[in-house]
Amino acid sequence: MIAYNDESLVDSSFWNGAVIVLLALSAFFYLRFIKQYQDKLYYMPNDFCTAFKNDGKLFKIIRWCISGFVVLAGIALLMQCEIDKNANFLRVVAVMGILSGICFGLSLTSANRPAVFNQDFAAFLSFVPILFMAIWLVALYKENSINPVSWDYIVELYAIISAMFAFFRLAGFAFKIPNVWRSLFFSMTGASSCIMNLADERYIGEQLFFAGVAMMLLMYTWILLDNLVKGKPEEKDISI
C-alpha cells in the first residue's frame, strides 16, 4: 500500500514502508505457525464432514447468527441502492449475498449430518459464496469504471478478491480437492482484508457484507483448526 495525496501523487509517508514490513512479518509468522503444526504431525482428513464438523450449541448459535447477519446486510443494501445509478448491479449483489448467508449456515449444518450428507449439495452450497464475490467484483468495476484514481477502490478490490480466493480454497473440501493450509491462509487473509475495509465509507449494506464475510471466514478458520488431527495422515491433501 502506497500513500497518496489529494493530487493522486505519491506522498512521503512512514506507512509506505511500514505496511510492507507488516505484511512480510505476517507472512513470516504464518509460515512459522504452519511449520509448528506440521512438525507436530497435525493434518486434516479430506472428508468434508470431518473437516467442518461443528456440532454443539455454541457452534450452532454462532453459525446461524452469522448467517442472519449476512442476510440482514443484503436486505439493507436492497433498501439503500434504489437511487444508485448502478442499482441493478447492487440488487444482484444483495440477493447473492443473502443466498450466501443462507448457504453458509446450511453448509456447516450439513457437515454435522454425515448420515444424510449429499456431496453435490455441499458443492453447490460452497459455490454460491464464490459466485457472490465474483458478482460483487464486477459491480465494483462497473461503479468505478470512470474513476481515474484507482486507489479510491483498490483496497476494496483487494478484499473482495482475497475473500473470493478464500471461498474457492474452502470449496475444495466439497469438491474433493482439499488443502487445509492454503484454506487457512486465504481465509485469514480474506478476513483481515475485509476487516480493514470497515474503515472506509460506503453503503451500510456493503459495510455489513464486509463484516459478515470476515466473520464467515474467521469461523471457517476456527472450525478447521479445531478439527486438525494429530498423527499420521491416512491420505495426503490434494493440491492444485
Q: The whole model's pTM is what?
A: 0.83
User: Considering Cα of 193, then 198, then 199, then 202, what sign does the dihedral take?
Assistant: positive
Q: Which residues contact 179 (CB under 8 A, 6 or more apart)?
A: 169, 172, 237, 238, 239, 240
pLDDT at residue 238, rounded to an integer = 46
- Backbone phi and psi for residue 10, each to the nearest 5 degrees, phi listed first: -60, 130
The whole-angstrom separation of Cα 136 and Cα 158 is: 12
Between vectors from CA 128 to CA 107 and to CA 171, what angle results, nearest 5°? 60
Tell me what pLDDT residue 146 has: 74
Encode pLDDT of 97-116 as tens digits. Answer: 999 999 999 999 999 998 88
Tally of CA atoms within 13 A in the half-sphere of 109 that contains its CB: 16
In this prediction, the residues of the chain whose per-residue pLDDT falls under 50 are 1-2, 236-240
Task: Kindly list the distances between the CA atom of residue 37 and the CA atoms of 33, 57, 127, 230, 231, in Å, as whole numbers in the listed order.
Answer: 7, 28, 29, 9, 11
DSSP character at residue 235: S
